Amino acid sequence: MMDLIKEAYINPIRSVMVVDDEYPTLSNLITGVDGSKAEDKQRLQEVIGMCKDTNNNWMLDVHDGQFNGTGDVDNLHHSDLLILDYHLEGNGDFGRGETALNVLSSLANKDHFNLVVVHTKGYGDQGGDDGYRAVFKDIVFYLQKPRLFQEVPDKVLKKAKIEEAIDAWDAEQAGILDTLIDSVTDMDYLNLYSSAINPVKIGHDVRELQELKTLYDTRPIGEEDELDNLELKFLQWYVLQKKGIKLKQHFGPTEFYDLQWADNDYMWVKAGNLFVCVVGKAVPTSELPDKLLSALKHWRPHPHRLLLAKLRHKLDEHGFTLANSVLSKTHTQAGWLRELLNVRGQDLEQQAWYTAQSHLEEMSWHYKDDLSQYLTRIVQSLMCEGKPIEEIEARYAPAAVLINNFEIFKSSNAFNNSLPVEGKHLTTGHVLKNNATGDYFLVVTPACDLVPGRNDKATNIEAVVQRLYPISAAVRQDSDEGTLEESILFERCREFVNNKQILFILIDGSVEIFSTISKLYKNSNPSLTSLAFANEGLWNDRFELRSYNLNLSLTPPQVKVCDYKVVGQLRYEYALHHSKVSGEYASRIGLDYVK
């Protein structure tokens, strides 16, 4: 797996930016104002040697860490790898590296994926590993907003007499509150918060609270009732609350959607579009690529993340050749351009998307073999470990995701079955919701009959829609009572999933399952209705449109007006299937059979 990760993240590196306030820059050397020391130049020479190594062949630029504005920071993400010193304020190895922390937070917000190695001596007043581990802790805290436990309510404070007990304890051991707070390390505090357990319910035997429990067990008793009767669960809640207040200033201003970290020997942090590992200056510069690779391996990026990283590299490396290959099909390109030039103005954006899709399809075929073989090697590498499939899956998805097989079933099928709504007007496969009744309908009229402008005199356009039924109703049997349990619903959906009558549509962020007939076990008939849509089926900016339906059951017949919203869309091949099936059903030819 190490080679596959290297192929996705290390091999694509072509340029390196090193940021260190002690390194000489090209600009300073040219102007003659360089004040760097001989040992700093020697360290930079080591970086140059690493970049020139035949295994790397990287371009190098040097920045002195003096940023005059956000634009100065922004250009850092144009490099493929950033080697960052932590202390850039010119005060040696002391103090919090605010500049470096701001740089990392800025890079995590970029669209470009940023690899960073923080190569640092750490804090000068903390020796050995503790120095750069403190830097790692600063980074972890700064890349998240404050994590504060709920405050202990006043009624609990009074009833449990927590503060009275600590006052009595302090009379025997001065400064005991600070000792209690410091018994939980900063990183252990984050681990406890991340467990999402109410602080009063956290088990006393967890590793992070062992020192606090030891202090509690050895408290002086027999002097004050408040201290004798103090409960550990309330003490740990109070201490964790105070610990959070003490740590609040160390957190940053931005929340990142996928913050992860490992504070073991690898010391890496993943936040937004940033991956950073912290390495002590005792590690030779030449070993930084290997340290970064080891941290990436420990991160265990999802196989599909590796695939997409590989694709980005392929596009970057061979994009020009690919473009030439696609453009060399001159007759095809002429046809696509002709379609764009002849389309009506209101349909230009949609046609442009069709053309873009055609180019994307050409690209996918160009890379088909390389990408499929790469993903094959990833899967083979995982299977060669000899671990159960369930254990491999658990590396890449939370237990709450893997245990929900029904949601996995729905989401996977929804991706295959449907698309986000596109276009400006109705077409085959659009899913409509009746604003008044909440019922859902599928447009099954062929797309060629729904193109606006086909009739210069008409302002309405006719479409046949097919009623869709919630799956919970469609799979019910006569013997069922009450609401169907999810396990039964899942089992029955799997039973009918290949009968071509079930749809999976993503609506407002969740997957809804529908049936095209009302009773799947009774093989009932589809319900089709012909509607006339105003404005030639063009919807407004809220995806809404109006329809008219002639109600012949009334005397005299009346036109019923209904408003609909476009909420989903089938992929073309699925839409075509339902259009064909419904068309065959609606246009049965009468034959003179004798009953």
**pLDDT per residue of the chain (595 residues) written in tens, 0 to 9:** 889 999 999 998 999 999 888 777 777 777 766 767 788 788 888 889 999 988 889 998 888 777 765 545 666 667 889 999 888 877 666 778 888 999 999 889 888 889 999 998 878 655 555 677 889 999 999 999 999 999 999 999 888 889 999 999 998 889 999 999 999 999 999 999 988 888 888 988 899 999 999 999 988 888 778 898 889 999 999 999 999 999 999 999 999 888 999 987 889 999 999 999 999 888 888 899 999 999 999 999 999 999 998 888 888 777 777 788 888 888 888 998 998 998 887 778 888 888 888 888 888 888 888 889 999 999 999 999 888 999 999 988 888 899 999 999 999 999 999 988 888 888 899 999 999 999 999 999 988 888 887 766 667 888 899 999 999 999 999 888 888 999 999 999 999 998 889 999 999 889 999 999 999 998 788 899 888 898 888 889 899 999 988 766 666 767 888 999 999 999 988 999 988 887 666 554 444 444 4
Provide the token pair at 285: 């510069």
CA distance 533 to 16: 59
Of 76, 258, 229, nearest to 162 by C-alpha is 229
Q: Are 270 and 299 in contact (CB under 8 A)?
A: yes
Distances (CA, A) of 49 to 54, 281, 284: 10, 16, 11
CA distance 228 to 570: 68
CA distance 421 to 404: 27
Q: Are 251 and 283 in contact (CB under 8 A)?
A: no
CA distance 345 to 360: 23
CA distance 491 to 513: 13
Long-range contacts of 477-482 (CB under 8 A, 24+ apart): 477/521
Cα 173 → chain centroid: 49
* Assessment of whether the complete model's pTM goes beyond 0.85: no
Distances (CA, A) of 3 to 6, 209, 314, 377: 5, 40, 17, 10
